[in-house]
Amino acid sequence: MTFFKSESGVTPFYDPNKSYAENCEKGPFGGFADGVVYKNEKEPTHDFLGHKVYLPFGIPAGPIPNANFCKGGFEKGFDIIMYKTVRTRPHPCNEFPNIVPVQAGTKLTIEHASAGLTMGKTFKKPIAITNSFGVPSISPKEWIPDMKRAVELAGKGQVLVATYLGTPGNGEEAFIQDWIDGAKMIIETGAPIVELDLSCPNEGKSSLLCHDTERVVKIVKAIQPIFTEKNIPVLIKLSYFSSDKKLKDFIEKVSPYVAGFNAINTIAGDVRTENGEQALPGKGRLISGVCGAPIKWAGVDMVKRMARLRKELSLNFIIIGTGGVTTPADYKEYIQAGADAVMSATGAMWNTDLAKEIKAENL
């Protein structure tokens, strides 16, 4: 059943009109399933954490739930693919639907999001959607072999990044231990790079774990030796920081333990129907992360500020820019802002030729 149609008539590679389980079982869709494979030319020359890629552009953790989706992304020329966040234990997905169109205009400010948003009727440009999955995960017995397959699907000039998070348990010690246990599971997959998902809600003392600097330092100190022993670089996924002071404090305290930062995830806001009702069904789902073109300003802003801090503090870490990348011009804007690599989730979902288009202008 089609609940929301795309104005362009395009079916995204992750179909919002199908449940998470249906997407995982039957996907990918759209351009990822058309059998057309992008062919890179010459040799990969860009360095991404010790791996040569044709272009430091890819898809972040989110719309890539298994190896079949990774295969589709690699075949379309996205050289860095981040496998959707996994956990040490099974965790259910939020109730369907998880992605709905949002009326967010051309620039979704923090103030605008805080005032509340209205669900749209169609997916149209500038594309803006909810991202309300609840960080689901299948069991490690299932995702470890699947992620291992995804690692092996990366072609020449391509690389897979594993993304995971810890699940809260009985106190902080148990929470940190879960991060340690997850690190050991990631090692089993052979993933050459790992990203810690600190940008999802309800995991830290202040809603977002990445805003809880004290706890993040404890986590990265605990897991760093596990990945360092295997020479696996660690990245951290961040949400938006409104405070320069808090961002600086975070970067200063966390950067010694990681290889880089990826920003941003989404901008959160209340999402309602035109009648004022909660748009997404289920308890605690009035607030949803919004992503797509209108949040680009926040991603670019974070990249600029992190680049300034990197120079000011004489630090050595890479910056990945994510959020609102839908055109080749968006890619360039992030690079000019100081990003070492760029990611696109929503833009790539609706335009699986995006990597091809960006490479045409930058290779």
* 22-58: pLDDT as tens digits: 999 999 999 999 999 999 999 999 999 999 999 999 9
Query: Do the beta carbons of residue 163 and residue 86 sit within 8 Å?
Result: yes
Looking at residue 201, its pLDDT comes to 54
- 207 part of a folded domain: yes
- 231 part of a folded domain: yes
Looking at residue 205, its pLDDT comes to 38
Read off the CATH number of the domain in which 151 is found: 3.20.20.70
Give the pLDDT mean for 337-354: 98
Give whole-number Cα distances, 351 to 29, 54, 64, 131, 148, in Å: 12, 19, 15, 18, 27
Looking at residue 57, its pLDDT comes to 98
* 59-89: pLDDT as tens digits: 999 999 999 999 999 999 999 999 999 999 9
- Among 98-102, 112-116, 180-184, 197-201, the range scoring the smallest mean pLDDT is 197-201
> Is 1 a residue whose pLDDT tops 80?
no
- 14 part of a folded domain: no
Looking at residue 140, its pLDDT comes to 98
> Is 94 a residue whose pLDDT tops 90?
yes
> Is 306 a residue whose pLDDT tops 70?
yes
Looking at residue 325, its pLDDT comes to 98
- 25 part of a folded domain: yes
Count up the domains in the chain and report the number. Answer: 1
Amino acid at 186: I
Geometric angle at alpha carbon 259, from 191 and 345, rounded to 5°:
65
Distance between CA atoms of 251 and 261, rounded to whole angstroms? 9
Q: In which domain, by residue range, is 85 found?
A: 20-362
Give the pLDDT mean for 296-320: 98
Tokens 């057309």 found at: 36
Looking at residue 7, its pLDDT comes to 83
Please report which confidence band the pLDDT of residue 206 belongs to, taking 50, 70 and 90 as the band edges: very low
- 7 part of a folded domain: no
- 151 part of a folded domain: yes
Distance between CA atoms of 297 and 128, rounded to whole angstroms? 13
What six digits make up the tokens of 162?
């594993």
- 5 part of a folded domain: no
Looking at residue 2, its pLDDT comes to 64
- 10 part of a folded domain: no
